[in-house]
Amino acid sequence: MSKRVLLIVCLFFVSWLTQAQKPLRIMMIGAHPDDCDLKAGGIGIMFSKMGHSVKFLSVTNGDAGHQSEGGGMLAKRRAAEAKEAGKRFGVEYEVLDNHDGELIPNLNVRLQIIRKIREWDADVVIAPRSNDYHPDHRYTGILVQDAAYLVGVPNVAPDTPPLKKNPYFLYFQDHFQRPNPFRPDVAVDITSVFEQKIYALDAHVSQVYEWLPWIGGYLDQVPKGDAERKTWLAKTRAVTITPEVRTSLEKWYGKENAANVKHAEAFEICEYGSKPTEEDIKRLFPMLKSR
């Protein structure tokens, strides 16, 4: 092998190695200031602990999500809760100023999403699927789908430089069956960080101890003491691992390890954006290789 060819090979290897070791930039997009936390707070913690950059983005300000408060004061309260939760998760948190319960997948909001994905220079974007009980959730899913291709188009939102490489897009887990059920392409064991996830969720006082119990009809079950509340929150926010998610865990961790997983978060690969191979998934979810 000539010196020139050897040099080219070495430079290629160094470039590949640098890229492989470069910290990932993960963006999770939810409709409200607590959606990302509930759906993927565990992997948010894990990515952060591994040195990767994570951003939670709420498309609305949450100003309708309470039984006795609302408007600007509630929006301020929820923004403060999100900021504190972000500290506890170890992620950056941003809340956009769109009204809760009034989200429409129009051009204005689509451009907001495109700009935010570009500004973060996201490698991975995770958002809701577009079949959900809440219109804000559905439309957040549609907005992200509509942005998936356009983040690389220079003449769309030209004030923000386009991404040079399309991110990998995935969906949060949900339980809805129609028109098609959630498919757990990736499942991550979050047992080791579940306690920290609960501690971070505890920052969303207006939601986990007030609004969600009220609208769900179980406000009388919420304990008064701080310690008791966290214990109760851990019980009520533990997601049952479905047989499909358990099968996915077996794929990524092996059957013996998967049997011991108590808490997991799962994700479906979106058909839009870059198409990940199995090796890509292992690179994009490095916690899958940690066991």
Q: Give the pLDDT score at 7.
A: 46
Place of tokens 């808490």: 263
Annotate the chain with three-state secondary structure.
CCHHHHHHHHHHHHHHHHHHHCCCEEEEEECCCCHHHHHHHHHHHHHHHCCCEEEEEECCCCCCCCCCCCHHHHHHHHHHHHHHHHHHHCCEEEECCCCCCCCCCCHHHHHHHHHHHHHHCCCEEEECCCCCCCHHHHHHHHHHHHHHHHCCCCCCCCCCCCCCCCCEEEEECCCCCCCCCCCCCEEEECHHHHHHHHHHHCCCHHHHHHHHHHHHCCHHHCCCCHHHHHHHHHHHCCCCCCHHHHHHHHHHHCHHHHHCCCCEEEEEEEEEECCCCHHHHHHHCHHHHCC
Please state whether 253 falls in left (phi above 0), alpha (psi between -120 and 50) or beta.
alpha
Distance in angstroms (rounded) separating the CA atoms of residues 133 and 176: 9
pTM of the model: 0.92
Ranges of each domain in the chain: 24-289
Q: Give the pLDDT score at 2.
A: 62
24-289 CATH fold: Rossmann fold (3.40.50)
The ranges of the chain with pLDDT < 50 are 5, 7-18
Q: Give the pLDDT score at 13.
A: 45
Q: Give the pLDDT score at 153.
A: 98
Beta-carbon-side half-sphere exposure of residue 254 (alpha carbons within 13 Å): 5
Q: Give the pLDDT score at 9.
A: 44
In Å, what is the CA distance from 58 to each residue of 4, 81, 143?
A: 51, 12, 12
Please state whether 23 falls in left (phi above 0), alpha (psi between -120 and 50) or beta.
beta
Cα–Cα nearest to 78, from 177, 236, 205, 266? 205
Distance in angstroms (rounded) separating the CA atoms of residues 114 and 152: 9
Asked if omega into 213 is within 30° of 0 (cis), the reply is no
Q: Contact, 90 vs 83, CB < 8 A? A: no
In Å, what is the CA distance from 84 to each residue of 40, 88, 136, 147, 202?
A: 17, 6, 23, 29, 10
